Amino acid sequence: MSSKDAKLPILTSELIRAARALLRWEQRDLAEASAVSLATIKRLEATRGILAAHRSTLMALRRALESVGIEFTNGSAPGVRLRTDAKKKDPGNGPGP
Map out the domains of the chain as residue ranges.
Answer: 8-75
38 contact partners, CB below 8 Å, separation of at least 6:
27, 28, 31
Contact 77, 43 (CB under 8 A): no
In a structure prediction context, what are the per-residue pLDDT tens digits for the chain, which is 97 residues long? 444 555 667 899 999 999 999 999 999 999 999 999 999 999 999 999 999 999 999 999 999 999 999 999 876 788 999 998 865 444 444 434 3
| pTM listed for this prediction | 0.79
Residue type, position 59, single letter: M
Q: Are 11 and 51 contacting, i.e. CB atoms less than 8 angstroms apart?
A: yes
CATH assignment of 8-75, given 2.60.40.10, 3.20.20.70, 1.10.3720.10, 1.10.260.40?
Answer: 1.10.260.40
Residues in the chain: 97
CA 93, CA 38: separation in Å to the nearest integer?
Answer: 24
